[in-house]
């Protein structure tokens, strides 16, 4: 069964890599849309700060994923549970990524865990307090991003709005390098930890880590941050286009405000151990910045399509992973 554990860890790392590919659009969309950096250099910039988060943001989110979503006894000596969870979640992320639909890799993972847990242990297998906290932040993360983005942009315009446009652009092109780096730190810190938590859960359930393990070993941390950074290097161009240019027209001042608002939100929730969607966060921030011009500056139809994708992610991944687990157990 050790071979199956190794295969599952490999799939988890691939999922982390796909996370980087999917969410690269979140990290670099605004910096590309405002022409501060070309796409190839932007993804390298984002990938570097994804990895740098290893030294900054701890393992609080990994601990939540590893011990706070489903009852640990559900996966004891079950070598296929985590594999089916990852396959269901990864299938959904891949479908969305290929179609340029910004989706939550985080919530796909949550749905991927819940589906097999319900099949195996019923309603008692779920820690509803943990799921409820995550579900609340499906709403709160983009709202926080929207509100902070709106007020930060309004305050920035109050001080800079009357200066020559060329001077504003030149100044904020430099500042946007810093804001993009901060958002990429938040992205790496929150999202890489989700895969850490999954691998930790697998190794505890199969007996390769002690049951009282509270944080992932360093080798897991290193592998997960490396995988997400490499994924970012090959990020989805379609999602960059959707977020960077599709929602609203951005200039460097707007990109700086959106990224700063998103980064602040991610830092707070990551240190609080709450897995959130970087997609939700930056989308809300971009919309908040766009509304400071006028409500019609935001393409609300596109925003509505993105929200629909958020809402259906957990149910879809629950179904996919639950179905995969059910079918596989038929042949055990």
pLDDT value for 98: 75
Give per-10-residue mean pLDDT for the chain (332 aa). 89 87 70 77 87 81 82 82 91 78 77 92 86 82 89 89 82 88 88 89 87 84 92 67 53 86 90 82 84 68 69 89 92 74
CB 50 within 8 A of CB 192: yes
pLDDT value for 244: 47
Q: Map residue 126 onto helix, strand or coil.
A: strand
Query: Can you tell me the distance from the alpha carbon of 253 to that of 172, in angstroms, rounded to the nearest whole number?
Result: 5
pLDDT value for 298: 64
How open is the CA angle 66-70-73, to the nearest 5 degrees? 90
**How crowded is the C-beta side of 118, counted as CA atoms within 13 Å?**
17
pLDDT value for 318: 94
pTM higher than 0.75 for the full model?
yes
Say which DSSP state 127 is in. -
**How crowded is the C-beta side of 242, counted as CA atoms within 13 Å?**
28
Query: Strand pairing partners for 126?
Result: 70
pLDDT value for 224: 92
């Amino acid at each position: 069964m050790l071979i199956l554990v190794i295969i599952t860890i490999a799939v988890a790392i691939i999922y982390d890599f796909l996370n980087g590919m999917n969410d690269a659009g979140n990290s670099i969309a605004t910096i590309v849309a405002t022409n501060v950096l070309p796409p190839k250099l932007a993804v390298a910039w984002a990938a570097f700060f994804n990895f740098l988060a290893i030294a900054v943001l701890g393992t609080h989110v990994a601990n939540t994923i590893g011990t706070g979503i489903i009852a640990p006894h559900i996966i004891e000596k079950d070598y296929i549970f985590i594999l089916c969870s990852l396959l269901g979640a990864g299938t959904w992320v891949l479908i969305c990524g290929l179609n340029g639909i910004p989706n939550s890799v985080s919530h796909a993972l949550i749905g991927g865990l819940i589906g097999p847990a319900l099949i195996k242990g019923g309603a008692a297998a779920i820690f509803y307090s943990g799921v409820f906290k995550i579900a609340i932040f499906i709403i709160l993360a983009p709202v926080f991003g929207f509100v902070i983005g709106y007020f930060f942009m309004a305050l920035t315009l109050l001080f800079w709005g009357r200066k020559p446009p060329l001077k504003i652009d030149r100044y904020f092109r430099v500042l946007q390098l810093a804001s993009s780096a901060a958002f990429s730190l938040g992205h790496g810190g929150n999202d890489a930890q989700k895969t850490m938590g999954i691998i930790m859960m697998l190794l505890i359930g199969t007996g390769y880590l002690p049951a009282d393990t509270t944080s992932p070993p360093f080798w897991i941390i290193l592998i997960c941050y490396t995988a997400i950074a490499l994924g970012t290097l090959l990020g989805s161009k379609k999602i960059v286009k959707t977020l960077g240019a599709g929602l609203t027209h951005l200039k460097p001042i707007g990109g700086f405000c959106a990224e700063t608002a998103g980064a602040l939100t991610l830092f707070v929730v990551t240190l609080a151990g709450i897995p959130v969607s970087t997609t939700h966060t930056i989308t809300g921030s971009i919309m908040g910045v766009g509304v400071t011009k006028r409500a019609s500056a935001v393409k609300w139809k596109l925003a509505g399509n993105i929200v629909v994708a958020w809402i259906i992610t957990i149910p879809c991944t629950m179904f996919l992973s639950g179905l995969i687990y059910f079918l596989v157990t038929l042949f055990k």
